[in-house]
Amino acid sequence: MALRTAQSINLERITIRWSPAFGTSIAEREWQDLDRVLLQFWTSHSIRPEIGYDGGNFRELAPRLLPELTSRGVVGLVEWSLDCWSDD
């Protein structure tokens, strides 16, 4: 929902952090909505979304959860460690 209401003209990057703890608890319909919104940002603002994940099986889940982004090769799937995510 936050991405739909973003008004910034200086938006340069969208990074989403996924953790195995999330599993697929987010409904697939919500993932598909996210897929469409991120695709719109890529199309209208040339912003390539990136999804960082810490282990788990997100790379295997991504084509099902984000079909448009993955089929077009638009989304960057990057394996990160939780250390990269600290707010320190």
pLDDT score, position 16: 86
Mean pLDDT (the chain) is 78
Question: For residue 76, what are the β-bridge partners?
Answer: 50
**pLDDT of residue 13 exceeding 50:** yes
pLDDT score, position 19: 73
pLDDT score, position 5: 59
Instruction: Give the pLDDT band of residue 68 (cuts 50, 70, 90).
Output: very high
Q: What number is the average pLDDT over the span 7-27?
A: 71
Residues 6+ apart with CB under 8 A from 65: 24, 28, 31, 32, 35
**pLDDT of residue 45 exceeding 90:** no
- Whole-number Å distance between alpha carbons of 56 and 8: 33
Phi-psi sector, 85: left (phi>0), alpha (psi -120 to 50), beta: alpha
Q: Where are the domains of the chain?
A: 15-82
